[in-house]
Structure formats: structure tokens, C-alpha cells
Structure 1
């Protein structure tokens, strides 16, 4: 059995595997004991620096609060994340990547962009614009559906 839905699922699976494999290789550059699952929490914190409360992280990532709490504890222990008082709520803590961790994450993302540029070097700009537009539409639809 084949068709567009089967082909799409296959291509998305290939993409997810490749991205995960590449990320797993580079995660150890942030900290040798950092695992991929905890790295995903780190990404969520980096993408919203200074705006993520520990209590909100579980909801953002779709996991149980205890899982998020263990990940935060590991990230703090590894020196990748700091907990700062939330100025709007003295009881809450904001999660912020450390300057060094943020610098390494920025370098990682720059390396990923360079890799993407290599993959797409022979693409026509119109095709690339179409691809980006369709990926954005796909991601927006996926996020809107929860």
C-alpha cells in the first residue's frame, strides 16, 4: 500500500531520525552527561529565555511536572540553566540558560544552519521559498491542532 499519506509519513520519519541522530551527536558538546530528552527541555528554555517558569515547562513540553522537574535539576546541576526569581511572583523561579550554555547553543544552531545551506545549495530560490512556506504551514497546522 502506498500513496501520498504513506509517502509523507515515511519522509517525516526519515527527517525526524536524521535530526535526532545529528542532535544526539552534538548534545554532548553542551555537557558530556546531557541526554537527548533533557536537551529538549534546554531548547525550550533557550527559545523563551527569561520567560519560562519551572511550573510552565511541563505544560510547554507536554510532560508530567515531575519529569520537567528532574530535567531542570539536571540542567542546573550541569551548569546549563540558572533559576532566577520571577519579578512578578516572588515564589516563582524563571529558568534562564547560562551565558556559556547559550553561547554553545548559538554555535550549535549556526552549525546546523551551515549544514542546511549545504543541503540546499543547489535548490532554486523559488523552490526554497515554497518549501519554507509549506513547512511553516504544516507546523502551524500541527501546533494549532494540539
Structure 2
């Protein structure tokens, strides 16, 4: 970027680079799980996995900012592929929670371990202070973006 442009444009440019790389990486990781898995279903599976103790489909729809029917189609795909199962909600007997299957959890654990190794390799030359500042800045950005979801 040039010096006559505001710094926000530099941030936007770097975020765009990161998002392109993240999308391509997500597609590669989705294919490791199943060649037919699309990026949206992969990201949904990761969100279900990250919840740990189960999540309602309606809550996923809200967090993804999409209609429940969109989430429902992806959940059906994930169930058909054996990645997700429904379990009774212990707090509400009428509701169901989505959980990753045992097999999906093992596979995702492996994918995450390889990803952590990749990050460790990239950040190997960074000081502990630089890594901490980067993580803190990302967390601060993500928190602010979640509090202000309008584009």
C-alpha cells in the first residue's frame, strides 16, 4: 500500500490475503475428510467439534448468520458421511445436540495436530513476545468483530 492511504486499507489487504489462504486450506482439509465435502460443511463440522459438549443447529445458524434450512442441509450431509450424530440435550429432553462422531473426532484431532505443526514451523523464527502479541491482536480483532457483525 502507499503512504497516502489509511492503515485500514493495509489491514483489509492483509485480511483478504489471509482469507484467500484460509479458504484454500479449508478446501484441502475438507477433502482429507471426504472428497465430496464442501467448505461450508467442513466449517460447520469444525464449529460442532469446537463446541465439545454439543450444539443446537439453531445456534449454529445464528453464529454463521444463515437460515436454519442452510444449516439443516449441511448437517444432513455431515450425518450421511458419518461425521456428526444427534444426541439428546440433557437440559431439554425435547431438543437434540449435534456432536462429532468418535471417528470424526479422531480424524479432526490428526488434522489439527498437523495444523499446529505447520503453525509452529511458520512461527519458529518469531520471539515469544511476537507470537503472544500476534495471538492477542487476533483475539482482540475477533472479539470486536463478533461484537459488531455488520460488514
* TM-score after normalising by structure 2: 0.90
Higher-RCO chain (CA-CA 8 Å, sequence separation at least 6): 1
Distance 1:132 1:56 in 2: 26
- Checking the alignment, whether the CA contact within 8 Å between 1:24 and 1:36 is kept in structure 2 is yes
Partner SS, residue 8 of structure 1 = helix
Q: 1:110-146: CA deviations, max 9, x gaps?
A: 1111111111111122222211111111111111223
2:93 alignment partner in structure 1: 90
Distance 1:122 1:22 in 2: 22
- Kindly state the Cα deviation for residue 51 of structure 1 after the two structures are TM-superposed: 2.8
Q: 1:50-84: CA deviations, max 9, x gaps?
A: 33012322112211010011011111000000011
2:109 alignment partner in structure 1: 106
Unaligned runs of 5+ in 2: none
Moved over 3 A (4+): none
The yes-or-no answer on 1:68 pairing with 2:82 is no
